Amino acid sequence: MASKRELLDIDRQVFKKNANPLILLDRLKQSKQDFLYRKTNHMTSIISDGVEYIYSPKKKNSSIHFPPNQLWIFNSVKRDTIKFLEANPDFELPQKLPVNVTNYEYDDSYGEITGTDVNSAYWVIAYNLGIISKELFEKCNKPSHKVVRLASLAVLGRVITYEKYEGGQKKDNFVIESQDARLKSLYRSIRFKCYEMMGELAIILGKDFEAYRTDCIYYRDTFENRTKVYEYLNERGFEYKQLVYIDKENDTND
């Protein structure tokens, strides 16, 4: 019978795209092996004899898919965050701030509203705070990695539950708790930093600020206001896109 430590000793990972995990699962059961099994909406993981087999079948009609060749990002982000905590033992969670804010005194009797949406806000903030390394930031800072890199931050510090098998028989669930409870705080720190930035932009825009929603800020559309927002984001290394609202009644384009 394998101990908890032995079950978690992973020497290598094997990624299986569009493969059926039940084939390996049945084989391990029949050969009466000790292993861990975990299935989520996006992937299936089986840990056996020092190897983690990761299955990520492509689902039809699903907008969320973790490509097998990007799953290494999860471990890399966790490794960097642990290093950050070791180097910053006195790290403290910043002030909790609201995810959405509306200026109920905004005067909408004149002008038009526009919005600036920050690209990959959490990922850039994680880098700016030193939570992830420059090497990892640049390697994963591609549109094709967007879903996985956001998920890799969101799962920090979460409890992971496996089905535990001993001698091919299912036993009680095997719970892996975070190595450091502060990992969860790091993700909250990233989020709160984003909301802090939105709040600072709101102050800069003054009466022309209409609202912010997570990482997108809305305001009266003027050249001066756009310049203020762009300069603020440029100084902090963010990329962004401008939201344009079209008057459907006067618009002849599709």
Q: 243: burial class by Cβ within 10 Å (0-12, 13-18, 19+)?
A: middle
Q: Which residue has the higher pLDDT, 15 or 81?
A: 81
Under the banding of pLDDT at 50, 70 and 90, the label for residue 15 is confident
Q: Which two tokens stand for residue 98?
A: 């609201």
Stated length of the chain: 254
Q: What confidence score (pLDDT) does residue 91 get? A: 83
The distance from CA 209 to its chain's CA centroid, rounded to whole angstroms, is 28
Arithmetic mean of pLDDT, 150-163: 81
CB 183 within 8 A of CB 189: no
Assign 77 a pLDDT band (cuts: 50, 70, 90).
Answer: very high
Domain ranges of the chain: 71-243
Lookup: tokens for 75: 């471990």
- Average confidence (pLDDT) over 83-110: 90
- CA-CA distance, 190 to 128, in Å (whole number)? 10
What confidence score (pLDDT) does residue 215 get? Answer: 95
Q: What was the pLDDT predicted at 218?
A: 97
Mean pLDDT of the chain: 84
Q: What is the mean pLDDT of residues 37-60?
A: 79
Per residue, what are the HEC states of the chain?
CCCHHHHHCCCEEEEECCCCHHHHHHHHHHCCCCEEEEECCCCEEEEECCEEEEECCCCCCCCCCCCHHHCHHHHHHHHHHHHHHHHCCCCCCCCCCCCEEECCCCCCCCCCEEEEEECCHHHHHHHHCCCCCHHHHHHHCCHHHHHHHHHHHHCCCCCEEEEEEECCEEEEEEEECCCCCHHHHHHHHHHHHHHHHHHHHHHHHHHHEEEEECCEEEEECCHHHHHHHHHHHHHCCCCEEEECCCCCCCCCCC
Q: How many beta carbons lie within 10 A of that of residue 177, not counting itself?
A: 11
Highest mean pLDDT among 3-12, 41-50, 101-110, 136-145: 101-110
Spatial CA neighbour of 199 closest among 92, 91, 103: 103
> For the CA atoms of the chain, what is the radius of gyration?
23
Residue scoring higher pLDDT (173 or 28): 28
- What is residue 53's predicted lDDT score, i.e. its pLDDT? 87
> In the prediction, which pLDDT does 248 show?
46
- Position 227 pLDDT exceeds 60: yes
pLDDT in tens, 160-209: 788 889 899 988 776 665 555 678 888 889 999 999 999 999 999 999 99
Instruction: Give pLDDT, residue 246.
Output: 55
| The pLDDT of residue 120 | 92
- pTM summary value: 0.71
Does 6 score more than 60 pLDDT? no
Q: Which residues pair with 101 in a beta bridge?
A: 212
The Cα–Cα gap between 222 and 239 comes to 20
Q: Which of 66, 70, 23 is nearest to 48 (CA)?
A: 23
